[in-house]
Homo-oligomer: A and B are copies of this chain.
Amino acid sequence: MFKVPDHQVAGHKAEAGKLGPLVDGSGLFYKPLQGDERGSNEVSFYTSFSSNAKIPKHIARFFPRFHGTQLLEASDGSGLQPHMVLQDLTFGWVNPSVMDIKIGSRTWGHQAPEDYIKKCLKKDRESTSVSLGFRISGLQAFGSKESGFWKPGKLEVKSLSADDVRLYLKRCVSSDVFGSKPDCAFASVVYGGSTGILSQLLELKEWFEDQTIYHFYACSILIMFEKEDVLNGKSSRAEVKLVDFAHVFEGKGVIDHNFLGGLCSLIKVISEILTTPEACVADGLLEDGQESQLGL
């Protein structure tokens, strides 16, 4: 009855005897609680968030629905373990393209233990988190029935530069997801429009400019869409979701400027793909530069 999710693109995976999330094939996603405080902190967040009357409905829809916790036979054979019962976000989707984008230039809360901060800071600096304000944690982009998915490996994703990230966000909405010269053929229908990705990100931004309840560190935005809908001339099903709340802290009256800054940077990148599609074709040629001082 329980199985490994088909469309997970980042995080721990329930494969080869490892501990990871499971799905039940009827719309629920079971995420094992991490043993340390991360597990209980994520449960605390879902519990607080799902009962918080101050969250507007149009914002709540960006979060997976939460159905409590449940003891379940863990995927690593360690017996009954507590799992969060969540909405299976890709339930009912056929060949979803999914990008997992970790938001924020900083993935650590400022009261975290020293060694944890050090580890995170290293990852933030080695990835595009510090430069771009976000990083790609994983992705799969559907090509065609024949070619299947483009799904870069963990190591490849880890070493992406800022220009790579922009290129990848273009490739995901291009005719040939495997090629390095994106045509951005589906950008306007997936990223654009009144119900597209950009418009959803702008709704989120408006909330983050105001909300001081939660600070979301190391949280991801999922960008999901069904390419086949686009190919069949149907309007694309495109959704933005937030996941991974093991490092959510109380906002204490301050906005989440770290998340907001990264979100604004993502918005800018996607806006540019929409407004300058002609830049897409030349993009394979861009060289990645180092940050430099201003030359006279």
Write the residues of chain A forming the contact surface with B, with a CB cutoff of 8 angstroms.
37, 41, 43-45, 47-48, 105-106, 109-111, 121, 125, 130-133, 162, 166, 209-210, 212, 214-215, 248-250, 252-255, 257-258, 260-262, 264-265, 267-268, 289-296
Nearest CB on B from A163, distance (A): 8
18 new A-B contacts, CB < 8 A, other than A162-B252, A210-B268, A250-B291, are: A37-B293, A43-B296, A44-B296, A45-B294, A47-B296, A48-B296, A105-B106, A109-B291, A110-B130, A162-B254, A214-B294, A249-B292, A249-B294, A254-B265, A255-B265, A260-B261, A260-B264, A261-B264
- Asked if A125 and B110 make an inter-chain contact with CB atoms under 8 angstroms apart, the answer reads yes
- Asked if B250 and A257 make an inter-chain contact with CB atoms under 8 angstroms apart, the answer reads no
- Asked if B294 and A41 make an inter-chain contact with CB atoms under 8 angstroms apart, the answer reads yes
CA of A109 to CA of B215, assembled, Å: 23
Nearest CB on B from A273, distance (A): 12
- Asked if A44 and B290 make an inter-chain contact with CB atoms under 8 angstroms apart, the answer reads no
Given A132-B254, A262-B257, A268-B210, A41 contacting B289 (CB threshold 8 A)? no
CA of A48 to CA of B261, assembled, Å: 25
Residues from chain B with a CB closer than 8 A to the CB of A249 are: 291-294
- Asked if B209 and A250 make an inter-chain contact with CB atoms under 8 angstroms apart, the answer reads no
- Closest B residue to A291 by CB, please name it: B111
CA of A289 to CA of B254, assembled, Å: 12
- Closest B residue to A290 by CB, please name it: B111
Nearest CB on B from A165, distance (A): 10
Copies in the complex: 2
Residues from chain B with a CB closer than 8 A to the CB of A258 are: 105, 133, 261
Partner of A257, one of B121, B133, B212, B290: B133
Given A248-B294, A258-B105, A294-B250, A268 contacting B212 (CB threshold 8 A)? yes
- A44, A131, A248, A294: most-surrounded residue (chain B CB, <10 A): A294
- Asked if B293 and A44 make an inter-chain contact with CB atoms under 8 angstroms apart, the answer reads yes
- Asked if A292 and B257 make an inter-chain contact with CB atoms under 8 angstroms apart, the answer reads no
- Closest B residue to A45 by CB, please name it: B294
CA of A124 to CA of B27, assembled, Å: 44
Pairs across A and B, CB under 8 Å, 21 listed: A43-B296, A44-B293, A44-B295, A105-B257, A105-B258, A110-B131, A111-B290, A131-B254, A132-B257, A209-B268, A210-B268, A212-B268, A250-B291, A252-B289, A255-B264, A255-B268, A257-B264, A260-B260, A261-B261, A261-B262, A261-B264
Nearest CB on B from A256, distance (A): 8
Nearest CB on B from A243, distance (A): 17
Nearest CB on B from A277, distance (A): 16
Nearest CB on B from A48, distance (A): 5
Residues from chain B with a CB closer than 8 A to the CB of A260 are: 260-261, 264
Nearest CB on B from A258, distance (A): 6
